[in-house]
């Protein structure tokens, strides 16, 4: 079985800005498992464990979606925590830009993966980039203050031109992600 998910990659300049921001957040010295900036991505759908023989059907489904989508722009902006900054479990950076196009892409991915036997996501889609997961309660008030002081955080806008099916291997130093295939957008601009 292959642990998989569908995501949007971030360009290196955006990863570099997120790395600087993460360094600022780490100054709180809170008990957080931080995600390495080169592993941060926008997850569109977590598929879980998939038998290798199902990968070609997934590829075909994602390529059918990518033929209907043209590139669009997003921007990492704002920050916060789930469920709230006061009761944080996940530290995130938000996304803005072509939100309608992103939502449409997410919907299309759901439409082609559910018939393949993957569960539909019932929760509303809240696009975000996970920076870290809280592992303890110590020094969270300091982290909360840093997050509140950085609500205007933003990185440069970037083009989204493909989706990626990733293999995820859990390692002692965090998950390692390997692209299984990329589905470039070839739809006509709207």
Mean pLDDT for the chain?
Answer: 93
Alpha helices, DSSP H, located in the chain: 12-26, 55-66, 99-113, 140-149
Q: How confident is the model at residue 190, as a pLDDT?
A: 59
- The mean pLDDT of 59-63, rounded to a whole number, is 97
Sheet holding 72-82, edge to edge: 32-34, 128-134, 90-97, 72-82, 158-160
| pLDDT above 70 as % of the chain | 99
Q: How confident is the model at residue 113, as a pLDDT?
A: 96
Q: How confident is the model at residue 189, as a pLDDT?
A: 67
Domain boundaries, the chain: 2-184
**Architecture of the domain whose range is 2-184:** Alpha-Beta Complex (3.90)
Query: For residue range 82-121, what is the model confidence (pLDDT) as tens digits?
Result: 999 999 999 999 999 999 999 999 999 999 999 999 999 8
Q: How confident is the model at residue 175, as a pLDDT?
A: 78
Separation between Cα atoms, residue 79 and residue 153, nearest integer Å: 7
Assess whether the previous peptide bond of 83 is cis (omega < 30° from 0).
yes
Backbone angles phi, psi at 48, to 5 degrees: 80, -155
Q: How confident is the model at residue 187, as a pLDDT?
A: 84
């Amino acid at each position: 079985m292959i642990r998989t998910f569908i995501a949007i990659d971030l360009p290196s300049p955006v990863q570099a800005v997120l790395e600087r921001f993460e360094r600022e957040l780490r100054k709180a010295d809170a008990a957080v498992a931080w995600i390495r900036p080169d592993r941060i991505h926008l997850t569109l759908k977590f598929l879980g464990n998939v038998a290798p023989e199902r990968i070609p059907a997934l590829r075909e489904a994602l390529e059918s979606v990518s033929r209907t989508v043209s590139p669009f722009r997003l921007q990492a902006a704002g920050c916060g925590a789930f469920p709230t900054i006061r009761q944080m479990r996940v530290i995130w950076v938000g996304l803005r830009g072509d939100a309608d196009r992103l939502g449409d892409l997410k919907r299309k991915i759901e439409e082609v993966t559910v018939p393949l036997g993957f569960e539909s996501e019932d929760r509303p889609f809240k696009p975000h980039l996970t920076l870290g997961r809280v592992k303890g309660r110590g020094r969270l008030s300091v982290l909360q203050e840093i997050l509140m002081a950085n609500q205007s955080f933003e990185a440069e806008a970037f083009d989204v031109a493909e989706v990626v099916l990733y293999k995820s291997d859990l390692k002692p130093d965090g998950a390692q992600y390997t692209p299984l295939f990329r589905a470039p957008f070839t739809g006509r601009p709207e």
